[in-house]
Structure 1
Amino acid sequence: MDISDWRKKIDELDEQIVRLISQRAEAAKAIGELKKTADLPVYEPKREQNVFDHVRAANPGPLADAEIQHVYERIIDVMRTLQRRDQ
């Protein structure tokens, strides 16, 4: 494959990633609504640590575990913002 083929593949993967992030955001939004009803905090450090442990364990590479965790730190930060915005 040449560079244009790889870029086309990246574009296709990005579209899949956006769809999955949107699905994750819908789930986070639903959880945020449940937290609000139950008067629970948006920020749950133990749950976030569980997510980080889970994604590191599922990581096949080539990103290092610390790098995949960094990506998820940002994703979770955005999801927390979404939950706070809806409260």
Structure 2
Amino acid sequence: MEISDWRQKIDELDEQIVRLINQRAEAAKAIGRLKQESSLPVYEPKREQVVFEHVRRSNPGPLSDNEVVDIFERIIDVMRALQKNPD
């Protein structure tokens, strides 16, 4: 494959990633609404550790586990902000 072919493949993958992140955001907003109704805290460090462990176990590479966790730390930061204002 040529560079242009790989770039097209990356563009297609990026579109899939955007769709999945938005689906995750909808779920986070729904959880945020439930947390508000139940007066639960948005920040749950134990749950975040569970997520990080899960993505580590799910990681086939070539990214290292630390790199995957770095990505998910940023995703969770954004999702946490959504949960603070879920509407």
Q: Which runs of 5+ in 1 are unaligned?
A: none
Partner residue of 1:7?
Answer: 7
The number of aligned residues is 87
Q: How far 1:66 sits from its partner (Å)?
A: 0.3
> Match of 2:15, SS?
helix
Matches of residues 31-70 of structure 1 in structure 2 within 5 Å?
31-70=31-70
CA distance in 2, matches of 1:45, 1:21: 21
* Contact 2:30/2:86, CA 8 A, preserved across alignment: no
Q: How far 1:86 sits from its partner (Å)?
A: 2.9
Runs of 4+ in 1 over 2 A off after TM superposition: none
Question: Counterpart of 2:67 in structure 1: which amino acid?
Answer: E
TM-score norm. by structure 2 comes to: 0.97
Question: Counterpart of 2:3 in structure 1: which amino acid?
Answer: I
Deviations 1:12-45 (A, max 9, x none): 0000000000000000000000000010000000
CA distance in 1, matches of 2:64, 2:56: 9
Same amino acid, percent of matched pairs: 72
Q: RMSD of the TM alignment (CA)? A: 0.9
CA distance in 1, matches of 2:72, 2:11: 20
TM-score norm. by structure 1 comes to: 0.97
Q: How far 1:3 sits from its partner (Å)?
A: 0.2
CA distance in 1, matches of 2:2, 2:67: 27
